[in-house]
Structures are given as structure tokens and as C-alpha cells.
């Protein structure tokens, strides 16, 4: 897997990495996308866990996806199920949970499953971007 690196080029612009945002609220996807695009990330969207699994399994995403940011309370496949799926099938893609409901037990359980960060909405842009940067570092380390 060592041949793919962050910092590849899309449409002539430097891309810091490709992030998938999974949230059932279009507003959240919009604002997270806005926040991350400013820092040079390419952002893909999925409205629930089921769609997220479709996105990660389609074409080149399987190889090029760098980070997944996932909500918990969603229809169809919820965040907890999606996290379990990603950890089992794509253990090298770092996960960030971004949830509206702070729950210590849930946070501990996610971190134990290897989730990089557990963020509670509303989260400042700076904090979100640094969580993504940390997750990318982890992905780089995982490639070594």
C-alpha cells in the first residue's frame, strides 16, 4: 500500500487528502465540507452508513480514501455499525466520530475500537482540521 501518498494532485491543485463525511444532516455535511475544503482537502459525502459503505467500495475510493468522519445517530446503518464495518474491512483508514451526543461509554468503546478521535458537535473548524491532520499522520504511519 506504500505507493499511495497524501498530497496527490486533483485538477491541478494540491490535495491534502480525501475525506468522507458521513452524516444524515445535509447542513452538517455542507459545513464540514466548507471547513475542510479551506484546508485543501477533497470531501466526499454520504448520508448514512449504508451509503458510506457504498462510497468506500466504489472504484478508486477504496484506495484513495484517507479519513472517514462519521456521525452516530443515523438511519439505515447507523454510525456504530458503520464504524465496526470500517474497522473490520478498512483497518488502515482512520476514523473520526463526530456526534451530537456526548456519551463517555460510547466514546471509550469507539476509542478502544481504534477510532482516532471522538468529537462532539459543535466543533470549531480548527479543532476539526487538526483532528483530520492527526488522522492523516496515523494513516501515514500505518503505511510504514
Residues 52-71 that bind another protein (CB under 8 A): none
Q: Does 91 bind another protein (CB under 8 A)?
A: no
Q: Which is nearer to another protein, 124 or 137 (CB)?
A: 124
Q: Does 121 bind another protein (CB under 8 A)?
A: yes
Q: Which is nearer to another protein, 35 or 138 (CB)?
A: 35
Q: Does 40 bind another protein (CB under 8 A)?
A: no
Q: Does 73 bind another protein (CB under 8 A)?
A: yes
Q: Does 107 bind another protein (CB under 8 A)?
A: no
User: Given candidates 4, 7, 122, 137, which one binds another protein under the rule CB under 8 A?
Assistant: 122
- Residue 98 has a CB neighbour count (10 Å cut-off) of 23
SS (H, E, C) the chain: CCCCCCCCEECCEECCEEEEEECCCHHHHHHHHHHHHHCCEEEEEECCHHHHHHHHCCCCHHHHCCEEEECCCCCCCCHHHHHHHHHHHCCCCCEEEEECCCCHHHHHHHHHCCCCEEEECCCCHHHHHHHHHHHHHHHHHHHC
Q: Does 102 bind another protein (CB under 8 A)?
A: yes
To another protein, the closest distance from the beta carbon of 60 in angstroms equals 28
Residues contributing to the site for another protein (CB under 8 A): 24-25, 27-28, 30-32, 34-35, 38, 73-76, 78, 100-103, 120-125
Amino acid at each position: 500500500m506504500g505507493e499511495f501518498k497524501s498530497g496527490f494532485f486533483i485538477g491541478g491543485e494540491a490535495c491534502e487528502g480525501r475525506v468522507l463525511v458521513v452524516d444524515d444532516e445535509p447542513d452538517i455535511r455542507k459545513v464540514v465540507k466548507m471547513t475542510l475544503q479551506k484546508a485543501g482537502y477533497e470531501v466526499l459525502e454520504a448520508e448514512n452508513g449504508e451509503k458510506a459503505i457504498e462510497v468506500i467500495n466504489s472504484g478508486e475510493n477504496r484506495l484513495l480514501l484517507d479519513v472517514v468522519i462519521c456521525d452516530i445517530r443515523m438511519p439505515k446503518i447507523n454510525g456504530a455499525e458503520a464504524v465496526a464495518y470500517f474497522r473490520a474491512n478498512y483497518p488502515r483508514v482512520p476514523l473520526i466520530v463526530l456526534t451530537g451526543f456526548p456519551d463517555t461509554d460510547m466514546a471509550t468503546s469507539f476509542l478502544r475500537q481504534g477510532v482516532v478521535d471522538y468529537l462532539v458537535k459543535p466543533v470549531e473548524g480548527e479543532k476539526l482540521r487538526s483532528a483530520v491532520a492527526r488522522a492523516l499522520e496515523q494513516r501515514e504511519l500505518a503505511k510504514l
